Amino acid sequence: MCGIVGYIGPRQASDVLLSGLARLEYRGYDSAGVAIIDAGELTTTRRVGKLVNLQNALGTSPVAGNVGIGHTRWATHGKPSEENAHPHRDCTERIAIVHNGIIENYVELREELRATGHMIRSETDTEMVAHLIESYYEGDLKVAVAKSLKRLEGAYALGVVHLDHPDVIVAARKDSPLIIGAGDGENIVASDIPAVLEFTREVVVLHDGEIAVVTADSVDVFDLALRPVVPEMLHVEWDLDAAEKGGFEDFMLKEIFEQPKALRETLRGRMNDGEIQLSELAMTAEEIAGIARVFVIACGTSLHAGFVAKSLIEQWARIPVEVLCSSEFRYNDPIVDDETLVVAITQSGETADTLAGVREARLRGAKVIAITNVVGSRVTRESDGVIYTHAGPEIGVAATKTFTAQIAALNVLGLKLAQAKGTLGSERVQSIFDELSTLPDVVEAILGSLEELQECAELFADATSSLFLGRGVGVPVAMEGALKLKEISYIHAEAYPAGEMKHGPIALITDQVPVVVVATQGHTYEKVVSNIQEVRARGAQVIAVATSGDDDIRNHAEFVLHIPQTSEALSAIPATVPLQLLSYYVAKRRGCNVDQPRNLAKSVTVE
């Protein structure tokens, strides 16, 4: 949802900005631009399309200078065009700004600015901020930015430079992420940590309503009233390698293969002496015992993890669980009170819909636990407790390792609730956890074994539509498989509970519609096999994800992707992995950009 970066220090700003933007391109890739100050000039270079177009432009016409700002855009207001690309400038062209977020009152501001003689050149909401700063500027950039911010409604992470202040970048945030990498004699403003890791692992986390005045040697943070604030510092544990492709062709493939590690890290330290360790829940055993219902809110892939959680928590802790996508939860007058535990799942911790749901839930008296992968993200500050997945940075727009890590964390949560409620005894909890701890090895084995996948992908060569079926915990796995396929290969894919198919979707079946079925061993296995027969009788070609040792399934499917035997409750993680790889190979075969699918962005910070 747009990435911003700013550099000030001894290096050539264009190099740092381009390398930062490359690491932020997952946030949007409709256009990219930089504005660099040098020798009394502010030079802006912008190009439509991916970053490579900007790189080429700067390769042909280099721009020198040691201070600058850059942007990679996911278009919201105004089509992708050079005019609408950031950085945007004021009328005097002495101020340049980059912005991530949405200025909701921009129409009103535009009328006001036009009426006072400002020349608005783009269709964007962002440009209004540049003109506002211009109108409030009386020699102090920080003051002009602070006054402008007070006029804004909506969300922003901003980087601002002014020709009169060639040794300063002013940054500010509200509801959009922003950090500052604190280097040695240089500082880098960025939407996300990977953009600064080449230069530093020390990070200032900017909070909502804070303004930072950044020079090469200092980062001074203020609140909106310009009172000094002690900045929150963070040492980043992972290094640049974790944010690079490391020999893989794509981030997505690398991240799929990182799942064993992500699972191990997420489960590390969670069991001690028969007791699930989850102090982050910040609830006493009595408080947990008082939970009458659980609400899970999330979007996209995280929502699918929520559906897995429902079956685990209901089965183990016998607490009713409702799962709702965050954008519906907020507006549906949910039945939430102080006996409700709300679990907000968000990889990025910045998803606007989920954050709004968190606020709504807390207003209604619920306790909110966030499950996120990003340390210091906004959801961590807005929730009562945080359970981190330790999956490392996920750059591919399609979530993979964070999904399975979320499920691992939710398994731990389910066991904790069951233990506190007394619905599972310690021995049972220990034995489930022991099996959970084998899943990293199970996933490793799957990743090393699926030779048939490339061949399977052929089935989708000319497909325009496909179905994904499953039962029980296989339903969210099917949903996730379908989402992956449509996101990165642009093939229509719909997931259904297998038993529901005969109530309508079976009309879609032809020999041109591949059907992927989660058919692992479980109490509904026979039913799933019957459902496979129903679709095959209508010409469908079937790919089945099945349990090792189930050779009979070969009589019912064109392709079988075998995964090791696990208990049914824990089968979601291993069953997902072949589907991630399947969608990867289908997309690659169709020549799609798997890391940056069209129209998408990694974190969706607008409603």
Residue 199, both tokens: 């230069």
> Phi then psi for 594, rounded to 5 degrees?
-75, -30
CB of 288 to ligand M6R, least distance (A): 25
187 vs 351, beta carbon nearer ligand M6R:
351
Q: Verify whether residue 2 is a known catalytic residue.
A: yes
216 vs 493, beta carbon nearer ligand M6R:
493
Q: Which residues, other chains included, contact 119 with Cβ-Cβ below 8 Å and sequence gap of 6+?
A: 91
Q: What is the DSSP string of 338-402?
A: TTEEEEEEESSS--HHHHHHHHHHHHTT-EEEEEESSTT-HHHHHSSEEEE-------SSS--HH
Dihedral of alpha carbons 555, 559, 563, 567, sign: negative
- Give the active site residue among 142, 254, 261, 602: 602
The answer to whether 5 and 18 are in contact (CB under 8 A) is: no
Neighbours of 15 (CB within 10 A): 12
- Give the active site residue among 2, 299, 325, 456: 2
How far, CA to CA in Å, does 60 sit from each of 56, 71, 83, 289? 6, 19, 20, 66
| Residues facing 162 on adjacent strands | 95
Q: Which residues, other chains included, contact 126 with Cβ-Cβ below 8 Å and sequence gap of 6+?
A: 77, 86, 88, 97, 98, 99, 103
Q: How far apart are CA 295 and CA 297, in angstroms?
A: 6
CB of 75 to ligand M6R, least distance (A): 17
The site for ligand M6R, by CB under 6 A, has a size of 16
- Can you tell me which of 348, 466, 520, 566 binds ligand M6R, judged by CB under 6 A? 348
The answer to whether 270 and 433 are in contact (CB under 8 A) is: yes
- Can you tell me which of 351, 383, 520, 571 binds ligand M6R, judged by CB under 6 A? 351
Q: Is 45 in the site for ligand M6R (CB under 6 A)?
A: no
Cis preceding linkage at 320, omega within 30: no
346 vs 541, beta carbon nearer ligand M6R:
346
Residue 42, both tokens: 């502010």
Binding piece for ligand M6R, criterion CB under 6 A, among 463-471, 501-509, 564-572, 599-607:
599-607
Q: Is 347 in the site for ligand M6R (CB under 6 A)?
A: yes
CB of 68 to ligand M6R, least distance (A): 29
- Can you tell me which of 346, 411, 430, 547 binds ligand M6R, judged by CB under 6 A? 346
187 vs 346, beta carbon nearer ligand M6R:
346
Helical segments of 10-86, H only: 13-24, 51-60
Binding piece for ligand M6R, criterion CB under 6 A, among 29-37, 145-153, 271-279, 344-352:
344-352
Residues 289 to 308 in contact with ligand M6R, rule: CB under 6 A: 299-302
The DSSP call for residue 175 is B
312 vs 352, beta carbon nearer ligand M6R:
352
CB of 600 to ligand M6R, least distance (A): 6
CB of 397 to ligand M6R, least distance (A): 5
Q: Is 134 in the site for ligand M6R (CB under 6 A)?
A: no
CB of 221 to ligand M6R, least distance (A): 26
User: Buried b vs exposed e over 217-233: b needs ≥16 C-beta within 10 Å?
Assistant: eebebbebeeeebebee
CB of 443 to ligand M6R, least distance (A): 18
Which residue is nearest to ligand M6R, using beta carbons?
Answer: 300
Counted residue by residue, the chain has a size of 607
Residue 544, both tokens: 């089945």
Dihedral of alpha carbons 233, 235, 241, 243, sign: negative
Binding track, positions 485-504, relative to ligand M6R; x by CB under 6 A: --x-----------------
Q: Is 182 in the site for ligand M6R (CB under 6 A)?
A: no
Binding piece for ligand M6R, criterion CB under 6 A, among 42-50, 285-293, 569-577, 596-604:
596-604
Q: Is 354 in the site for ligand M6R (CB under 6 A)?
A: yes
Residues 381 to 400 in contact with ligand M6R, rule: CB under 6 A: 397-399
84 vs 354, beta carbon nearer ligand M6R:
354
CB of 407 to ligand M6R, least distance (A): 13
44 vs 346, beta carbon nearer ligand M6R:
346
> Which of the residues are catalytic?
2, 602
Where along the sequence are the contacts to ligand M6R (CB under 6 A)?
299-302, 346-348, 351, 354, 397-399, 487, 600, 603-604
